[in-house]
Amino acid sequence: MILETRPKKRIFIGLLVLTSLILSFFIFLLWYVPLVGLKNIHPSLPLIFSLVLAVSVFLMFSGGLLLIFTIMRGRDIFLSHKLRGIVAKVLFPFMILMGRVVGVSKEMVQQSFVELNNHLVRSNSHQIRSNKLLILLPHCIQNFDCKIKITGNIKNCNGCGKCEIKDLIELSDQYQLKIAVATGGTLARRIIVENKPEAIVAVACELDLTSGIQDSYPIPVIGILNERPNGPCINTKVDIQKVKNAILDFLGSKGVSTN
């Protein structure tokens, strides 16, 4: 299993710590301000209110610490599956907001989120059967001048080698995986519903990967950022080795390698 240790994940963690501190400050205010007033309603209300807020702070920090330790150890400690959902559905919008406050671009936060998600997925040691693993590709990876329609059936590609669709089909054949091309989020969702994968290796830009990971939860997704040497959405590329590593992370000992 290959765990990437580039510093991008630290952006998300840094924003998470900052958010926790700011939220703690607001929770403190929420505790302190009504304290005197609550006493007048019922003598035990200040204690109950304090306990509720203390539990909230405890859960927030223990969740954050669990996330950090899971990332540091690179394997599941406790509830990493649920953590992935909380990161995708709850924390990510906060991190975008906090990134804006401290001057980190949305693109950087999205990249950081994708890496963090990949780390959490890998830490869960999934063992997926090859016929339940889907490789999902963006349409922009196809050579712009290619006239063959591959969105309905990627196997229409004649393997001329002018784009990486050829290599990706060969990879899917080698491991006997499902493979499809999506032109956008709606088609991607339809492909997922029709194929019912247990795990997905997705190639796309930051924006599409982020929304795809969020929409697909609880299905585990390893996201691989495409490369855009010609600008966005045209003749994009992907590191085939990264796709292969992600496939092997999912297949584990169930991999069907012919090499």
Residue ranges that bind ligand SF4, judged by CB under 6 A: 142-143, 146, 148, 150, 157-163, 165-166
For ligand SF4, the closer of residues 43 and 145 by Cβ is: 145
Min dist. Cβ of residue 143 to ligand SF4 (A)? 4
Give the single-character DSSP code of 136.
E
124: helix, strand or coil: coil
- C-alpha pair distances (Å), 229 with each of 95, 124, 204, 235: 28, 33, 14, 8
Residue 108: name the closest of 117, 96, 118, 97 by CA.
Answer: 96
Min dist. Cβ of residue 163 to ligand SF4 (A)? 4
Instruction: Give the chain's largest Cα–Cα span.
Output: 80
Rounded to whole angstroms, the Cα distance separating 118 from 204 reads: 14
DSSP labels for 35-94? HHHHHHH-TTHHHHHHHHHHHHHHHHHHHHHHHHHHHHHTS-SS-HHHHHHHIIIIIHHH
Helix axes 206-216, 106-123, angle to 10 degrees: 40
Min dist. Cβ of residue 151 to ligand SF4 (A)? 11
What is the enclosing helix (H) or strand (E) of 161?
none
In the chain, the DSSP E strands lie at 133-138, 178-182, 199-204, 221-225
Location of structure tokens 């580039």: 6
For ligand SF4, the closer of residues 83 and 191 by Cβ is: 191
Q: Give me the half-sphere count of Cα atoms (radius 13 Å) on the Cβ side of residue 95.
A: 27
Min dist. Cβ of residue 177 to ligand SF4 (A)? 18
For ligand SF4, the closer of residues 152 and 159 by Cβ is: 159
For ligand SF4, the closer of residues 37 and 161 by Cβ is: 161
For ligand SF4, the closer of residues 150 and 221 by Cβ is: 150
Min dist. Cβ of residue 155 to ligand SF4 (A)? 10
For ligand SF4, the closer of residues 87 and 157 by Cβ is: 157
Min dist. Cβ of residue 228 to ligand SF4 (A)? 17
For ligand SF4, the closer of residues 123 and 236 by Cβ is: 236
Min dist. Cβ of residue 171 to ligand SF4 (A)? 13
